[in-house]
Amino acid sequence: MRRRWMLPACVISLVLLADQLIKYTVKTNLCLRESVEITPWFQIFFTENEGMAFGMDFIGTAFLTIFRLLAVSVFLRLLAKAVRRGLPAGLLACISLIVAGAAGNIIDNSFYGLVFSESTPFQTATLVPFGEGYGSFLAGRVVDMFYFPLFSWPDWMPLVGGDTFFGAVFNFADACISCGAVALLLFYPRYLHASGGGVADATSEEPTENTPA
């Protein structure tokens, strides 16, 4: 059983490490809303939000954190069931990406307000003694930085004319959640219960550890 948990543990650990390193680097080196152009269609653009993923900001931080914790608990239960049944490694990786991505943003919401000073358009944030940051527990803002202004819609188009295609700013955790969810739906839908959201067998027989990925 321990060997089955190695892949999920590695995926979750690596995603959390990468996510927090990227956020720390951006937050302590860029001022709020400062950008660095990597290519004409890719920028590192530092912004923060208190709400949903991809820069959306319309739900209270505490409520959203509780929702994320519930979601993580559901997917951890799903992951445990998949591990016990010896389901494909790819399926385990997908669920692990979702768990790790949600956990990465939970860390921002829960602790960044306690350990970082305020980020402003004129000043970068710094680490401060625990509890002396810009906010309280569950009042931290999620750090976003990846921006892909691929192109702008023609001005003559209704509703979207002049707007940037895919103007959202997101972070590594958001990307992991999205990639894990899309891959799960595309490649492993037969393992999911249509009703209960649990993990089902691909056939009527219980899958074994040798089930192919």
- Model pLDDT for residues 23-65, shown as the tens digit of each residue: 999 999 999 999 999 998 999 999 998 765 555 555 556 677 7
The answer, yes or no, to whether residue 211 has pLDDT greater than 50, is no
Q: Is 26 left (phi over 0), alpha (psi -120 to 50) or beta?
A: alpha
Nearest to 140 by CA among 116, 122, 123, 172: 116
Residue 208 covered by a domain: no
The answer, yes or no, to whether residue 136 has pLDDT greater than 80, is yes
Of the residues 19, 108, 155, 174, only one is catalytic, namely: 174
Nearest to 15 by CA among 176, 144, 141, 174: 176
Query: Which phi and psi angles does 81 have, rounded to 5°?
Result: -65, -40
Residue 109 covered by a domain: yes
The answer, yes or no, to whether residue 205 has pLDDT greater than 50, is no
Instruction: Identify the pLDDT of residue 203.
Output: 42
| Domain range enclosing 72 | 3-153+160-191
Residue 57 appears among annotated catalytic residues: no
Q: Region 104-117: what's the mean pLDDT? A: 95
Structural domains counted in the chain: 1
Residue 206 covered by a domain: no
- For residues 63 and 151, the model is more confident at 151
The answer, yes or no, to whether residue 87 has pLDDT greater than 80, is yes
Write a three-state SS string for 109-157. Answer: HHHHHHHECCCECCECCCECCCCCCCCCCCCCCEEEEEECCCCECCCCC
Structure-token pair, residue 163: 């707007």
Residue 202 covered by a domain: no
Of the residues 144, 155, 163, 201, only one is catalytic, namely: 144
pTM of the model: 0.83
Residue 201 covered by a domain: no
Q: Which of 45-54, 73-82, 180-189 has the lowest mean pLDDT?
A: 45-54
Residue 209 covered by a domain: no
Residue 108 appears among annotated catalytic residues: no
The answer, yes or no, to whether residue 112 has pLDDT greater than 60, is yes
Q: What percent of the chain has pLDDT over 70?
A: 85
The answer, yes or no, to whether residue 189 has pLDDT greater than 80, is yes
- For residues 164 and 29, the model is more confident at 29
The answer, yes or no, to whether residue 196 has pLDDT greater than 60, is no
